[in-house]
Amino acid sequence: MRTFVVGDIHGGLKALVQVLERTPYSKKDRFIFLGDYVDGWSDSAPVISFLLKFSEHQKCIFLRGNHDELLTGYLETGEANPMWLEHGGVSGKESYDALSENDKQHHILFFRNLENYFIDKKNRLFCHAGFANIYGPEHEYYSNTVYWDRTLWEMVCSLDPSLSPEDSKYPKRLKNFKEIYIGHTPTTKIDRTVPTNFANVWNIDTGAAFLGPLTILDIDSKEFWQSDAVAQLYPNEKGRNK
């Protein structure tokens, strides 16, 4: 069995379909989705419909992203947070406003069942954003930290590569896990469009919401597959500018 990890999709269904076509997976393989399925390109609700179908015949673990949580809040209360709307929420809202009530209830169930993080048998952690507690995500005082945190990624980006894990200054957070897989902070912010690794952290969000492609990575071989730049698949749309 192979395990594939999938970066932030952000409503880019065409990119998801394309990168899956390029990925050599079989029925036995497992997919771990890092969250942020919605907000960005115009296919937010169709992405969730696709994932619900996909998971009927493929083992999937679906993690929660901050955008999934924000959209769920809108679906449950009808209140649209202005800050959410400004950061891609408009496309998610429009996509869901066009959905039937029946499908909407089905999708709300999908969003409620998302997991905040997952640790596999080889002590590899998967979460949308990161964590701040030195003992790991299960010790977070605020459980939403794992899909909002940016400090983990910023820390490893600026970590002195000559520092060894035995050094007393080495970040204790990193020593809890063999590897840590995250999305949330696009690698395009540091001018990279491929999965990016610092210390034992792997960032798979290659900026699909903006000008980058969508990425799927095999966690054992580190081989990866990408869609075209998602903006090219939605030529009449702007995607997210924030």
The site for Mn ion (CB under 5 A) is made up of: 8, 36
* Residue 215 Cβ vs Mn ion, minimum distance, rounded to whole Å: 13
* Residue 59 Cβ vs Mn ion, minimum distance, rounded to whole Å: 23
Q: For residues 176 and 101, what is the distance between their CA atoms, to the nearest angstrom?
A: 43
Residue nearest to Mn ion (CB): 36
Q: How far is CA 235 from CA 6, 32, 198, 238, in A?
A: 23, 29, 33, 8
- Which residue number, 8 or 149, has a Cβ lying nearer to Mn ion? 8
* Residue 65 Cβ vs Mn ion, minimum distance, rounded to whole Å: 6
* Residue 205 Cβ vs Mn ion, minimum distance, rounded to whole Å: 6
- Which residue number, 36 or 43, has a Cβ lying nearer to Mn ion? 36
- Which residue number, 101 or 191, has a Cβ lying nearer to Mn ion? 191
Contacts of range 81-85, beta carbons closer than 8 Å, 24 or more positions apart: 84/39
- Using alpha carbons, select from 164, 227, 233 the residue that is nearest to residue 200: 164
- Using alpha carbons, select from 125, 187, 194 the residue that is nearest to residue 157: 187
- Which residue number, 36 or 149, has a Cβ lying nearer to Mn ion? 36
5 Cα distance to chain centroid? 9
Q: For residues 152 and 145, what is the distance between their CA atoms, to the nearest angstrom?
A: 11
